[in-house]
RNA sequence: GCUCCCGUAGCUCAGCUGGAUAGAGCAUCGGACUUCUAAUCCGACGGUCGUAGGUUCGAAUCCUACCGGGGGCGCCA
């Protein structure tokens, strides 16, 4: 990578000036302002105290040292501002990107090895199987799935998991509600009153266990809806199966052995406060029933069979749950860094200008299904991935419907469709493409051509950052940016027109091809389709 | 009371683990289709980065306090 090449040149120059260890704050970054070059280092600013010189003066010495052995591709270096050393690259650097992207292709572009095969288990959505998933849960589906795709791209071995709370009080009330609707009785107190219960009860055969049938019905709905948004899971883990297999009891035994379990007020407690939780937690209630916490510990432990690092994607309303789980896992001997929770801000759902609160009592909700049916899976999915998961998100279904055509997903998809259209036209005209190895890419010197290449050259960094920050939306931002510079290029730089120099046409054609690779990979990471025509 | 997240253009949001003159989209206004898809492009308008301090060569970014919005603090799940 060019930044590494420049960094090591700077390190070498610093050494020749008596700074043997490069201070931590020294960076090599892309200046926002093109007047400041392609890359810039703050080395002289950071080193000013060490060397006891003012940064402009030391910067000049650094510059002289660098000029003794100018790094590859660098055509100009200068000292600027308070003491930055700026590097200007020859266009041949960006031009060389073209071949790299095309050679890498969709399989290899942005394929990194940060993860080094480390196994990561990502759990997300995990909504109670007592009804359809509401549109708020869609955010975690889109997020979790894309995070997994990005981590896979970065060389992690990822496993996507959905936890099914298929035992306990909620499932019983759910089953009773179904039965009540089927027989025409009143639903129980605190029962589920949504319209879907009525619909599902009508589907339910007579000779089935309403709980089991209802859970299966819920899961079927969840699977179908999530798959329609290209959200995929490798494992659907049943709490019930886990308990029946004795994992919960075994976990209880092992927790007792740890010495952090005690009995008080007829209940059994875990001393999580020794590990950063603000209070101890009950494992077994005074009525002898386990809390939700205990089987969940067993479940997390079980997940370590499918990953060395666990990532739970949780809504902000479950935030308080994290310290106790981290504590429990530490008590069982896992390292704190083996458990990670991504806390996403909850989605606010709106319809008819008012907030729709998910209410089991009245049964009001907006289902993911409704959203997907109304705006299509791509618009829905990208809507979730437009923003940081830290940002509270409002999904106003009316606004989204009305503005579906303005959704950025079409902007990106359209760029891709234009590239395919270009190829179709070329085929119709029976134009032949010269192999890239024989094409003179040095003709690509137009501002817009270089802008496209520059975006493509950033992709590895973007993917790496999106992975490290657990931030799929950074890929969204990049995809929009690539589409933007491509549209500008496409509009102003004709490719197949007759008055274009054939050598230039070939180079531009390959540039479009490379852009297509970038768009396809980015859209795939986002779980959005890349249609060939629109 | 304790704690987590957010506050950036009229609206929705980016801002890459501290960089130089803070950016997109939408909205508004004005332009560009006999030529590879106008679901596009080009331009204009638009900012005390919630407030006040602090850290430093440098702060939207880090720290503290406060203001405002949302969430969490069960022998619920």
Domain ranges across chain A: 2-89, 407-526
Percent of chain A predicted with pLDDT > 90 = 81
- For residue A400, is pLDDT > 90? no
3-state secondary structure at position A262 = strand
What's the average model confidence in pLDDT over A442-447? 94
Indicate whether A326 pLDDT > 90.
yes
User: How large is the C-alpha radius of gyration of chain A?
Assistant: 28
Q: What is the pLDDT of residue A360?
A: 66
- Note the pLDDT of residue A194: 87
Residue A186: per-residue pLDDT? 85
Rounded to an integer, what distance in angstroms lies between the CA atom of residue A417 and that of residue A342? 35
Residue A363 backbone dihedrals phi, psi, to 5 degrees: 80, 20
Neighbours of A89 (CB within 10 A): 19
Confidence of residue A1 (pLDDT cuts 50, 70, 90): confident
ipTM of the complex: 0.95
Report residue A257 CA to chain centroid gap.
Answer: 39
Phi, psi dihedral angles at A237 (to 5 degrees): -95, 125
Indicate the CATH number for domain A2-89.
3.30.1360.70
State the pLDDT at residue A169.
Answer: 86
At A398, the pLDDT band (50, 70, 90 cuts) reads confident
Which of A144-158, A182-196, A422-436 is least confident?
A182-196
Tens digits of residue pLDDT in A483-524? 999 999 999 999 998 889 999 999 999 999 999 999 999 999
Mean pLDDT of A269-289: 93
Domain A2-89 shares a fold with domain A407-526 = no
For residue A95, pLDDT beyond 90: yes
Beta-bridged to residue A79, according to DSSP, are A85
Specify the 3-state DSSP secondary structure of A443: helix
Mean pLDDT of chain A: 93
- Asked whether the predicted pLDDT for residue A394 surpasses 90, the reply is no
Q: Which nucleotides of B are covered by protein (CB under 7 A)?
A: 2, 4-7, 12-17, 19-27, 35-42, 57-58, 69-77
For residue A259, count CB atoms less than 10 angstroms from its CB and return exposed for 0-12, middle for 13-18, buried for 19 or more: exposed
The phi, psi pair for A262, rounded to 5°, reads: -145, 160
- Strands of A281-284's sheet in order across: A261-264, A267-270, A281-284
CA pair distance A247, A397, nearest whole angstrom:
42
The arithmetic mean of pLDDT across residues A278-300, rounded, is 94
Rounded-to-integer distance, Cα A198 and Cα A179, Å: 10
Q: What is the mean pLDDT of residues A15-42?
A: 90
Query: CA A461 from chain center: how many Å?
Result: 14
Instruction: Give the nucleotide with minimal C1' distance to the Cα of A496.
Output: B36
In the prediction, which pLDDT does A517 show?
97
Find which nucleotide's C1' atom is closest to A404's CA: B39
The class (CATH top level) of A407-526 is mainly alpha
Angstrom distance, A292 CA to B77 C1': 6
pLDDT for A224 beyond 90: yes
Taken in order A420, A421, A426, A429, the sign of the CA dihedral is positive
Angle at A458 between CA A89 and CA A15, to 5 degrees: 55
Percent of chain A surpassing pLDDT 70: 100
CA of A430 to C1' of B32 (A): 30
Residues A111/A153, Cβ–Cβ less than 8 Å: yes
Confidence of residue A187 (pLDDT cuts 50, 70, 90): confident
Nearest residue to B19 (CA, C1')?
A42
Q: How far is the C-alpha of A138 from the C-alpha of A135, rounded, in Å? A: 5
pLDDT of A361 reads 65
């Amino acid at each position: 990578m060019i930044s590494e090449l420049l960094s090591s040149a700077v390190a070498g120059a610093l050494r020749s000036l008596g700074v043997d260890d490069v201070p931590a704050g020294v960076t090599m970054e892309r200046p926002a302002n093109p007047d400041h070059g392609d890359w810039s280092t703050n080395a002289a600013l950071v080193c000013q105290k060490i060397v006891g010189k003012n940064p402009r003066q030391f910067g000049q010495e650094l510059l002289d040292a660098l000029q003794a052995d100018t790094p590859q591709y660098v055509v100009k270096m200068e000292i600027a501002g308070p003491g930055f050393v700026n590097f200007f690259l020859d266009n041949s650097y960006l031009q060389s990107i073209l071949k790299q992207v095309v050679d890498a292709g969709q399989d290899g572009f942005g394929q990194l090895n940060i993860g080094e095969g480390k196994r990561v288990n990502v759990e997300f959505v995990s909504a109670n199987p007592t009804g359809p998933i509401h549109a708020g849960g869609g955010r975690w589906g889109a997020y979790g799935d894309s995070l997994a795709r990005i981590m896979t791209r970065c060389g992690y071995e990822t496993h996507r998991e959905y936890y099914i709370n298929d035992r306990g009080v909620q499932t019983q009330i759910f089953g009773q509600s179904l039965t009540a609707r089927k027989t025409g009785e009143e639903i129980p107190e605190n029962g589920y009153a949504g319209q879907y219960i009525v619909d599902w009860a009508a589907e339910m055969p007579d000779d089935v266990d309403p709980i089991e049938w209802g859970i299966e019905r819920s899961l079927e709905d969840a699977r179908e809806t999530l798959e329609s948004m290209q959200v995929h899971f490798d494992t659907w883990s049943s709490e019930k199966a886990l308990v029946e297999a004795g994992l919960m009891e075994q976990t209880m035994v092992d927790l007792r052995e740890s010495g952090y379990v005690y009995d008080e007020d007829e209940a059994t407690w875990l001393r999580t406060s020794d590990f950063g939780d603000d209070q101890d937690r009950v494992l077994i209630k005074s009525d002898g029933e386990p809390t939700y916490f205990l089987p969940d510990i067993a479940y997390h432990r079980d997940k370590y069979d499918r990953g060395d690092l666990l990532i739970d994607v949780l809504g902000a309303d479950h935030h308080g749950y994290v310290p106790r789980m981290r504590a429990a896992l530490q008590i069982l001997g896992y390292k704190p860094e083996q458990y990670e929770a991504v806390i996403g801000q909850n989605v606010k759902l709106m319809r008819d200008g008012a907030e729709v609160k998910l209410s089991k009592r009245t049964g009001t909700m907006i289902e993911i299904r409704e959203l997907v049916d109304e705006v299509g899976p791509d618009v829905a999915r990208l809507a979730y991935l437009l923003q940081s998961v830290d940002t509270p998100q409002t999904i106003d279904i009316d606004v989204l419907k009305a503005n579906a055509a303005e959704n950025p997903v079409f902007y990106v998809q359209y760029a891709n469709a234009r590239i395919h259209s270009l190829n179709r036209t070329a085929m119709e005209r029976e134009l032949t493409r010269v192999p890239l190895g024989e094409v003179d890419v040095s003709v690509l010197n137009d501002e817009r051509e270089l802008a496209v290449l520059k975006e493509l050259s950033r992709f590895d960094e973007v993917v790496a950052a999106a992975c490290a920050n657990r931030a799929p939306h950074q890929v969204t931002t990049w995809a929009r940016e690539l589409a933007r510079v491509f549209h500008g290029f496409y509009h102003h730089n004709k490719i197949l027109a007759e008055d274009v120099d054939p050598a230039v046409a070939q180079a531009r054609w390959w540039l479009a091809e490379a852009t297509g690779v970038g768009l396809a990979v980015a859209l795939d990471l986002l779980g959005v389709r890349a249609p060939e025509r629109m």
